[in-house]
Amino acid sequence: MRQVFGNATILAGEELECLRGYVVVEDGRIAEVGEGSPGRSYVNLKRGVVCPSFTNAHTHIGDACAPDAGAYLHLRERVGSKGLKFRLLEDRERVRQGMRRALEEMRRTGTGCFADFREGGIEGLELLRQVVEQSSVSCVALGRPDGDPPERVIERADGFGVSSVSNYTREELRRMRRLAERLGKLFAVHCSELRDDTAEVLKLEPDFVVHMTSASPESLEEVCRRRLPVVLCPRANGSFAAGLPEAGRLLECTTVALGTDNVMANSLNMMREMEFVFKLARGQSRDEKLRAELVLRAATINGRKILGRDSNAIQEGNVADFVIFRNKYIYEPALSIVHRMEAEDIRGFVIGNRYVRRV
């Protein structure tokens, strides 16, 4: 199956280079990206902006069953291992319905792939898989034992998504790390969310870490030295009153992806996340040259790189998974997506061989 999309502003390749031209999709992959007109027969995008779909690299979508519940509780009381969240997650049907709403929100706001740190052991993973099967959003499911043997959990997951290292013994953590490495699966850890536990986390050699809100300058330096991938979720960190990460520094020194974290505390809208990160990073760094493309890569291409998924950068050979925005702002297309576009500005999606057009 072959489709041609022309008369477009394309944010092409790994660098999101802006060009005026066309994209050819064949058998679910990008067959050609070119400048100018593709010829006579094509889908006219009316100078719309073609951008890789968003990758939400850290979520807990089971929490969508209880938005804003316990909003003024401490983070531990709200989502800790004995917190309000886990009492609410006991209602399986309520959780299922919340997950469906979460997937609808992600697709509506341009997300094509997400990573979920799924609670509930095997049962939690199976529920997540059932819901995702009915959606056009792809999922990287990172499980945790929660009473089940880790060997059985990792069979059903794409890896382990570990909560704070303080919730496990050293041997439990090493066992999970060995399992993930042996099976070629991901091992990711919440890191320095409320206290600086970076040194403990780094001993486990994770594939990536999440948060870094409480990391000391020395810990940040070590993460940068190792070029360890980091997923930032600053809107959720702010909502939880847990501080804010050094976004500007991390964006410059390592591979950064973005996530929206707990749906109890935060929406799944990656456009909101990008705007917050962009302005936070510029404000912290006082660097007016920090470009929007750096943040847009973190919200799109980098997440898939960190999660080990095929790239959706708009270049030949890559999977076709992109969003088409109305072209309302003519000067800086990447910047307009990062800090001006809204969900209603999305004109359509291309997901493999499917073109989903919005009126």
Q: Which pLDDT score is estimated for 86?
A: 84
Q: Which pLDDT score is estimated for 359?
A: 63
> Any bridge partners for residue 261, and if so which?
59
Helices within the chain (DSSP H only) = 75-79, 84-88, 92-108, 121-132, 150-156, 170-183, 198-202, 217-226, 234-239, 247-253, 270-285, 292-299, 301-307, 333-339
109 Cβ neighbours under 8 A, 6+ residues apart? 54, 268, 269, 270, 271, 343, 346
Q: Which pLDDT score is estimated for 140?
A: 98
pTM reported for the whole predicted model: 0.95
Q: Which pLDDT score is estimated for 319?
A: 97
Choose among 137, 126, 184: nearest CA to 160. Answer: 184
Q: List the domain boundaries for the chain.
A: 2-52+312-357, 55-307
Q: What CA–CA distance (Å, rounded) separates 207 from 303?
A: 12
Q: What CA–CA distance (Å, rounded) separates 97 from 94?
A: 5
Instruction: Tell me the CA distances in angstroms from 119 to 80, 163, 227, 299, one per residue in order.
Output: 12, 9, 28, 24
Q: What CA–CA distance (Å, rounded) separates 262 from 59?
A: 6
Q: Which pLDDT score is estimated for 92?
A: 86
Per-10-residue mean pLDDT for the chain, 359 residues long? 94 96 96 93 95 98 91 89 83 91 96 96 95 95 95 97 94 97 98 96 98 97 98 97 96 97 96 98 95 98 98 97 90 95 95 88
CATH of domain 55-307: 3.20.20.140
Q: Which pLDDT score is estimated for 85?
A: 84
Write the DSSP symbol of residue 266. S
Q: What CA–CA distance (Å, rounded) separates 5 from 183?
A: 40
Q: Which pLDDT score is estimated for 51?
A: 98
Q: Which fold has domain 2-52+312-357?
A: Urease, subunit C; domain 1 (2.30.40)
